[in-house]
Amino acid sequence: MLGYVIPICLAIIGLALALTLARLFKGPDLPDRILALDTLYINAIALLVLFGIWLGSDLYFEAALLIAVMGFVGTVAVAKYLLRGDIIE
Amino acid sequence: MNEWIEGIVALFLLLGSLFALVGALGLYRLPDFFMRLHGPTKATTLGVGGMVIASMIYFGARDQGLSLHELLITLFLFITAPVSAHMLAKAALQQKLRLHEKTRGRPWEQ
Amino acid sequence: MKPSRWLPHPLLSICLLVVWLLLINGFSLGHLLLGALLGWLIPLVTQVFWINPPRIRKPIKLCLFLLHVIWDILLANLQVARLILGPSSRLRPAFVEIPVQLEDELALTMLASVISLTPGTVSADLSDDRKTLLVHTLDVADEEQLVRDIKARYEAPLLEVFACSAT
């Protein structure tokens, strides 16, 4: 059963990534693009966890956790740069 | 693996990916920035949540033990999602982005 | 447990131990000891950077509150999903100002986070005097009702848990 469901889920998340990417290109303003990047990394986490289940491997969890940490730091850094024109005061 | 467990895992996987899709759809089609902020920060958090629960059940059943470390991802996302949403909202307020004409109430001056 | 000079943040230490055990994804005496050591050492070294946490008066109430919030998040997601899939011309977005009574930094952060995580609301800004929270809502019929709801559902339990000076 999982052999059928997982490819479907992969396709759904792929579609979600494509929609996010479209917003990233369309803009229209900088905060929109940052928000799109934020969503992109969260969807990437979902994709990695799904991939880990498909391959039956624990290793992908670590990658997902790292992306969660780095993505958050990245979003906050860029948002702060937009806010103050400076990241570390 | 047990049929039932596989079914539950499949259900959570579908639920999680559908919520991720709804979040991305919201990001794509809502008209102004502040409304777009609602889609991803909520639906995507639950989307990843569904995936994580499925992964916990799957690895727990496969290894005949308890697999809880996926909870860390959910925990971390639940703590960080409001923070990044708040930062983005502040940045957008400062940039004075165009609001949808039906928006009631006005933000104060930064 | 009382904070002391050698154990400045007992709760933080316990959280670090639990996170370490989750990260290892297993349980053994060695890892328990290593986790306890990390949980003791990290708060001690980073002591200067931490704000003083408020006393939690009612831990059970806090747990109930968190469960309640998780339930609300589930409902929020269904509601927001319906709003997103429906026609976007029907949405009634608004900025709402919510007066807050909480004074403690941690409690305020928790309130703002909970608002961001639940039905169609995102906390956008806090006024400089920390008395008003600016909230953007996706779809609201009656602003005053929303303010009353948030104050009753989320602020009142937090006030009780942290027992701040409610003015």
pLDDT at C10: 77
Residues C125 and C103 in one domain: yes
User: Does residue B40 belong to any structural domain of this protein?
Assistant: yes
When CB atoms are compared, the residue of B41, B83, B103 closest to C95 is: B103
User: Does residue B81 belong to any structural domain of this protein?
Assistant: yes
| 62-101 of B, contacting C, C-beta below 8 A | 67-69, 71-72, 78-79, 81-83, 85-86, 89-90, 93, 100
What parts of chain C have a pLDDT lower than 50? 165-167
Question: CATH number, domain at C141?
Answer: 3.30.70
Question: Amino acid identity, residue C132?
Answer: T
Residues C43 and C84 in one domain: no
Mutate to test the interface with C, among B12, B86, B94 (most CBs of C within 10 A): B86
Q: Is the pLDDT of residue B7 over 60?
A: yes
User: Does residue C17 belong to any structural domain of this protein?
Assistant: yes
Interface pTM (ipTM) of the complex? Answer: 0.85
Question: CATH number, domain at A70?
Answer: 1.10.287
pLDDT at A11: 93
When CB atoms are compared, the residue of B9, B25, B84 closest to A38 is: B84
Nearest of B104, A28, A49 to residue C95 by alpha carbon = B104
User: Does residue C3 belong to any structural domain of this protein?
Assistant: no
- Higher pLDDT pick, B64 / B25: B25
Helices (H), chain B: 3-29, 33-36, 38-39, 45-62, 71-95
User: Does residue B100 belong to any structural domain of this protein?
Assistant: no
Task: Provide, as residue numbers in chain C, all residues whose Cβ is less than 8 Å from the Cβ of B32.
Answer: 93
- Higher pLDDT pick, C119 / B12: B12
Task: Provide, as residue numbers in chain B, all residues whose Cβ is less than 8 Å from the Cβ of A49.
Answer: 48, 51-52, 55, 70, 73
Q: Is C13 on the interface with B (CB under 8 A)?
A: no
Per-residue pLDDT of C34-75, as tens digits, reads 888 988 888 888 877 777 767 777 778 888 888 988 888 888
Torsion of CA C24, C28, C32, C38, to 10 degrees: -40
User: Does residue B44 belong to any structural domain of this protein?
Assistant: yes
Per-residue pLDDT of B36-66, as tens digits, reads 888 777 777 788 888 888 888 888 888 877 7
pLDDT at C167: 42
Residues C41 and C63 in one domain: no
Residues C102 and C150 in one domain: yes
Q: What are the φ/ψ torsions at residue C108 (nearest 5 degrees)?
A: -65, -45
Percent of chain B with pLDDT over 70: 91
Cβ-count burial of B105 within 10 angstroms (0-12 exposed, 13-18 middle, 19+ buried)? middle
User: Does residue B62 belong to any structural domain of this protein?
Assistant: yes
Domain count across chain C: 2
Residue with tokens 């704000």: C51
Cβ-based neighbours of C26, under 8 Å, separated by 6 or more: none
Residues C63 and C21 in one domain: no
Q: What is the pLDDT confidence band of residue B31, given thresholds at 50, 70 and 90?
A: confident
Chain-chain contact of C95 with B104 (C-beta, under 8 angstroms)? yes
Mutate to test the interface with A, among B34, B88, B97, B99 (most CBs of A within 10 A): B88
Residues C80 and C150 in one domain: yes
Residues C39 and C74 in one domain: no
When CB atoms are compared, the residue of C81, C84, C125 closest to B93 is: C125
Range of the domain at B39: 3-95
Residues C64 and C45 in one domain: no
Q: Is the pLDDT of residue B102 over 80?
A: no
Q: Which residue of A has its CA nearest to B29?
A: A23
**Can you read off the two tokens belonging to residue B6?**
């596989």
User: Does residue C158 belong to any structural domain of this protein?
Assistant: yes
Residues C127 and C151 in one domain: yes
Residues C107 and C26 in one domain: no
User: Does residue C100 belong to any structural domain of this protein?
Assistant: yes
User: Does residue C5 belong to any structural domain of this protein?
Assistant: no
User: Does residue C2 belong to any structural domain of this protein?
Assistant: no
C-alpha distances in Å from residue A24, one per residue of A27, A31, B37, C3: 6, 10, 14, 48
Q: Is B41 on the interface with C (CB under 8 A)?
A: yes
User: Does residue A12 belong to any structural domain of this protein?
Assistant: yes
pLDDT at C166: 44
User: Does residue C69 belong to any structural domain of this protein?
Assistant: yes
Chain-chain contact of B20 with A12 (C-beta, under 8 angstroms)? yes
User: Does residue B108 belong to any structural domain of this protein?
Assistant: no
pLDDT at A14: 93
Range of the domain at C44: 10-49
Residues C139 and C76 in one domain: yes
What parts of chain A have a pLDDT lower than 50? none
pLDDT at C3: 63
When CB atoms are compared, the residue of B35, B71, B107 closest to C125 is: B107
User: Does residue A53 belong to any structural domain of this protein?
Assistant: yes
Cβ-Cβ contacts under 8 Å between A and B: the total is 155
